[in-house]
Amino acid sequence: MGRILGLDVGTKTIGVAVSDPTGLLASPVCTVSRKGVRTDVVALQAIVAEREVQAVVVGLPLELDGSEARSARLARQIGVALGEATSLPVHYVDERYTSVDAERQLIAADVSRARRKQVIDQQAAVIILQTFLDHPELTHEP
């Protein structure tokens, strides 16, 4: 299967996670500060190359009714640009509530408020990627 990259795309940052080579377990990698689609994609390409990634999963922040608003279009924009730059397959996973789940997990792990702020996007990316690894049938393809 190979490693899979998971992304939690926000307006200010992108949380990044990667799977193990067998595609069973997602782990946090880093948080990329947003600087514009081109610059963001260059930063993500470096991670793809370094980690020998074979596919990408992008969290799609759908509205409660399942429709796509501005934030979902932004996530798709990053996914499309990264797919074009790397020629890797890009999948999309509904990420509603992942930030809430990530916050709960970090609180349960007794992570300090300051540290939570630093790693929340990475943890959300882990949840997005793990959802895909556990349930690939739940993808929202382009």
Q: For the chain, what are the domain ranges? A: 3-138
Contacts of 46 (CB under 8 A, 6+ apart): none
Mean pLDDT by 10 residues, the chain (142 residues): 91 95 93 95 97 95 76 92 96 76 69 67 89 77 60
What's the pLDDT at 17? 97
Number of DSSP helices (H) and strands (E) in the chain, helices first: 4, 5
Tell me which DSSP letter residue 11 carries: S
From the list 65, 58, 59, the residue with the least C-alpha distance to 101 is 59
CATH topology of domain 3-138: Nucleotidyltransferase; domain 5 (3.30.420)
Question: Sign of torsion, CA 127 130 135 136?
Answer: positive
Kindly report the pTM of this predicted structure: 0.85
> Could you give the count of Cα atoms lying within 13 Å of 88 in the half-sphere of its Cβ?
25
